[in-house]
Amino acid sequence: MIRNALLVGGLLSIATIGWAQQKTADVQVILKADTAQFGVSPAQLAKTHIPFGDQVQALSDQAQTTPRKAMKAFNTAQMDLIKKISLVLATNVFFHYEAFYRADGTAEWVIVSPNEDASVQEVSKLLTELTQFYQGTPLMAQLPKPFALNGVYVVGRPSFVQKRTVRTGDSTISTLEAARLTNRPDTVRYVFFNQLNLKAIPDELYRFQNLEELDLSKNELTQLPLRLTADLPNLKRLSLLENQIGDDGIFFAKNTHLEALNVQYNKLTRVPKSVSNNRHLTSLWLGHNNLNELAIRPLKKLKRLYDLNLYEAGLTSIPKKIRKLKHLTILDLYHNDLLTLPKQMGKMKALEQLAVANNRLTKLPKELAKLPRLTTLFVHHNKLRELPAEMASLTNLRLLDIGSNQFSELPAVVLALPELQDLDLSGNNIQTLPATLAQLTKLKKLYMRSNPVTKDDAKVGPYARVIDQLEANKTEVFY
């Protein structure tokens, strides 16, 4: 049996994972197999340490903001730790952990269960890295009681190499060797340098003056030099997905050729100022970064921008000045930490698709009813109990998803949406179905799963006639 434990006190540096040094109380990182030796019981700890999520959920909406931010920052640090450990270990190690924290956010016990065939040496390295991390990285949230976290990770070097996705075709280059050897650089329109472990932009790119699409995703880039947009005058689409580019490493020259930019999964904490130099940009994907705020100033200069993706971008609020993005037709705010939406969103007259699902909204501003072109609205997984009556003026709305909220009845305004084709009511507390629902003659799909009204066989229940009428209207009903 592997036996290893590390008790560490004092001050340790975790600069490698981007956290400042923090002085914390002692933490013990041990194997689950050794808990009896240390006189500790995971089952007993679980009784005194309430799960982090349960404690946060019990707080008021306002009080939840700080611990949620702390958890997001902690998760980012944890992901960096996993990358660091993976460089240290020679083989894969699969492990489950249970971390028990004091109420002040300092770790007390971390109990680790690695896979049985992991070597003594690899487990020892794992415990060393975990101890340094938990010793110097408190979860910066004060909760009423001690709390617990748990999870599963695979670290180390994979026994297989993920196969690179290679695209081929006319006018296409997908390897550095081909980029060097081609004697017709003028014919190259598409370059796919994804998954090449690049740490810098290859000089070979600048041979291709007619390049229109460049994929640099899933590399290790930390810089996007000004030269890329300055010296490739026909570049229209650029993907920097999953790199390591931070705020001080991204630069754009003034241009009128770049139309689509994807910088998801990088290390940005703000909207790059120089993004405004891409005057003909139509699509900007900034999701999966950790933005401190949504700066409108660099965006409002993009008069052709119609698609803005801010999926899981760490946002806690949307500024009133978002109204200045008058040309947006698609706005994605999925998986942020929003408590409210500004009423000024009602001035975004071009908006057709709005996604604000997986936030903490308790109401929608009535001003959303002033969006005449809105066809699609995703607001599922929030805390809504009602919809504004003014939404009846959304006469072009075709898809409405209000699933996983707190509705106890079908919002009356839904019956006033004549063009509605797709309605999702799943995961609420809806008790009844009005017969007038069948008046939505254009409704093609109705989702009602996980509601009291469908807890039994809805086809033989009190609302069977309503469902029959809907199906007679060729509406698919899911329950």
Q: What is the 3-state secondary structure (H, E, C) of 242-294?
A: CCCCEHHHECCCCECCCCEEECCCCECCCCCHHHHHECCCCEEECCCCCCCCC
Cα 341 from Cα 365, distance rounded (Å): 7
- For 76-163, list the strands marked E by DSSP: 93-101, 107-114, 147-155
CATH 3.80.10.10 in the chain, residues? 172-426
CB 7 within 8 A of CB 37: no
**Residue 212: per-residue pLDDT:** 98
**Residue 64: per-residue pLDDT:** 87
Encoded tokens for 96:
């489950």
Burial of 222 (0-12, 13-18, 19+ CB in 10 A): middle
**Residue 163: per-residue pLDDT:** 77
CATH code of the region 172-426 = 3.80.10.10
**Residue 25: per-residue pLDDT:** 56
Q: Which residues of the chain have pLDDT under 50?
A: 1-24
Query: Backbone phi, then psi, for 289, in 5-degree steps?
Result: -110, -175
In sequence order, what are the residues at sequence separation of 6 or more whose Cβ sits closer than 8 angstroms to the Cβ of residue 363?
A: 340, 384, 385, 386, 388
The rounded radius of gyration (Å) of the Cα atoms in the chain is 26
DSSP state of 452: G
**Residue 162: per-residue pLDDT:** 64
CB 211 within 8 A of CB 189: yes
**Residue 285: per-residue pLDDT:** 98
